[in-house]
Structures are given as structure tokens and as C-alpha cells.
Homo-oligomer: A and B are copies of this chain.
């Protein structure tokens, strides 16, 4: 198949013309560039919005292997990772362009499955696929996805807005994706190399949720919008590279320290059970496991309870996990006993404070 025939095979009849028009698409796949309405109106009314632009790349053997991700998972996750970047700005994702460098091993049918996953994610998050580029690759599959999104002008949630005394929050459990990857790699070692695994094969073991978290992550678009609308969120990041690493990015951009309270970190039941089963400290995955795509941020501590209520009303998790303080940029994990103050006197702290390293996430 030539390039155009391939692209048609992957993309035709996926997103209707009307569906794309509602997203401002004037001309999608098939010309030199896509054409989208710069006014980016909603309901036909121009609004003072800004454009968000991001690109994220997945490389075979670096970010995934055939034994950890099916082709459709690769497509789904490549787009999901990008949508998560838009969510981390408090924005709404709109358009995507897909660049694939395809090695010979990827047959048209495999690529079709990859696009199945990509369009599944696009439909779920209302993203219009408007273009791309296809090249051959002598080595690994490389998928680079670019996304656009919009955000109300001046209301984008940057990493640099945190202030001392802010509450630090996270919008979901962390470490599940890394634990899921561990389960997939463990199963690979027990089986023939190269055999594909799916969450279904973990069904009933309690590990399917971890595998699903790794293969089909859910970017936190709604959570990002709630945080953007509330007006008291001061900094925001998505947890793509591990909680410690993302906290470091906020600390450095905002020039302060984040103190995370170990006891407040949300623990997933399936994560705890799997960690106990394989004899690994779940904290390692929670701090240094990437690709959970929940949001980590800071906000005015006075509004934290109200924010939790808003999230609760929407059925979304929200956890206060620490606070910010002045000082050299860094991230601290506080643990150990901490008695709340009562009538007899002030609170006493006998915390251990460990400086967390900046280290990011390595897949393999």
C-alpha cells in the first residue's frame, strides 16, 4: 500500500465531517496542512481563548514492547499522553496530528489496530485527528503525536504559580501504571517471549486494574477543567514521569519546596495487594512510577476543602497530600508519627523528612 492508501485505510470513516466541523476543522487529513478555525469559537461565538500546543513521542523498546502493549494500546496511549498535557494546563483538547515511523514488521493490519486505539482515545476525549506524516523506519516504531487545545486567556495553569503555604494535591492514586508494567513483565518472563498479553488474562487476579492503568491510561481532562474554573489552583502538572519528578518540576518552576506527607499519599488497594504479593515496597512505584496521568498541583490551602467537595460531587478523587514551604527548590517526603494538637497543647512533629531525588521514570 502506498502512503495515501495506508492513511485512508487507517483513518477513513473514523470521524464524521460534522463531528470535525464542530471542532473548528475546515480541512483535516489530506492536504499540505490541516486548516482549523483560529477563532476557536464554541457555539459559533468567538471567545478570548489561547491555543495550547504539545507533542509527545512513544518509541518502541523505550516506552513499550510488544509484550507489554498491544498495537491498539500503543495508539491509544500515544494520544492519551498528549491529552494529559492539555489537561495539565487546565485546557480542553481539540486537534491532533500523528507522525508514525513504521518498521517493516508493522503490517497494514497492525497499523490499522494502532489507529483503532488512537481513534478510540480521540472519540473518548472529543479530539479531531486532522493530519500527520508517515515515514518508514529501519528500526523501531516511533509515534509522535501533536495536540492542540484551548484555555481561557490568562487562566492557563502553569508549573510556576505555586506559593509558600499552598496545599499540595493529587487527583488520583499513583504507581498503578508502573505496577501494571511490573505484572506484565513478570508474566512475560513466565511465558514465551513476544506473546501478547491483555488485561483479560489478568482477570480475577486483582492485577487487571493495574495492567489496564498501564495500557489504557485516562488523562484527567475534567479534573483539569474543575481546577481551572475554581480560580484557586496555583500550579499544575500531570504525573507522566513519576510523582517525585513532577513535584520537582513545580518546585523548580515556582522556586519553593514541596513537602509530601507519606501517610496522605493515596494508596490503591490493587497496588497494595500486588506489591505485598511480589514483596516490593509500593512507595517506590508511587514516587517514581510514571504514566499515571493524574494531576499534581498546589492551591490556596483555604479552598482545599471546597475543592474536595467539588470533585466529590463529580465523582472524582481528590487528595491533599502535603504543603509547600519556602526554601531551596526541592521535594521532601515526611513520614513517621505526627500527633494532632489537642486541648493539652500544640501539635508535635516527630517526622522523618527525606529529600526525594529528581530521578524520573525508566520503563525497562
A-B pairs with beta carbons under 8 Å apart, 19 shown: A26-B50, A27-B156, A31-B253, A33-B53, A33-B149, A35-B51, A35-B156, A36-B52, A38-B38, A38-B50, A38-B153, A51-B148, A55-B146, A56-B133, A57-B101, A59-B101, A59-B137, A59-B142, A139-B139
- Size category of the A interface is 35 or more
**Other 19 A-B pairs with CB < 8 A, given A53-B131, A99-B146:** A31-B253, A32-B85, A32-B88, A32-B238, A33-B85, A33-B89, A35-B151, A36-B50, A36-B52, A37-B153, A53-B97, A53-B130, A55-B132, A55-B133, A62-B138, A101-B142, A137-B139, A137-B140, A137-B142
The reply to whether A97 and B33 form a contact with Cβ atoms under 8 Å apart is no
A-side interface residues toward B, CB under 8 Å?
2-3, 26-27, 30-40, 48-59, 61-63, 85-86, 88-89, 91, 95, 97-99, 101, 130-133, 135-140, 142, 144, 146-151, 153, 156, 158-160, 237-238, 253, 358, 360
Instruction: Give, as a whole number of angstroms, the nearest-CB distance from A294 to chain B.
Output: 14
Q: Which of A31, A36, A48 gathers the greatest number of chain B CB atoms within 10 Å?
A: A31
On chain B, the residues within 8 Å of A139 by CB distance are 137-140
The reply to whether A59 and B136 form a contact with Cβ atoms under 8 Å apart is yes
Chain copies in the assembly?
A: 2
* Distance A40 CA – B148 CA, assembled complex (angstroms): 14
Q: Assuming A99-B144, A156-B35, is B131 touching A54 (CB within 8 A)?
A: yes
The reply to whether A97 and B54 form a contact with Cβ atoms under 8 Å apart is yes
* Distance A95 CA – B52 CA, assembled complex (angstroms): 11
On chain B, the residues within 8 Å of A61 by CB distance are 138
* Distance A238 CA – B32 CA, assembled complex (angstroms): 8
* Distance A150 CA – B137 CA, assembled complex (angstroms): 31
The reply to whether B158 and A27 form a contact with Cβ atoms under 8 Å apart is yes
* Distance A68 CA – B148 CA, assembled complex (angstroms): 34
* Distance A55 CA – B56 CA, assembled complex (angstroms): 13
* Distance A3 CA – B56 CA, assembled complex (angstroms): 13
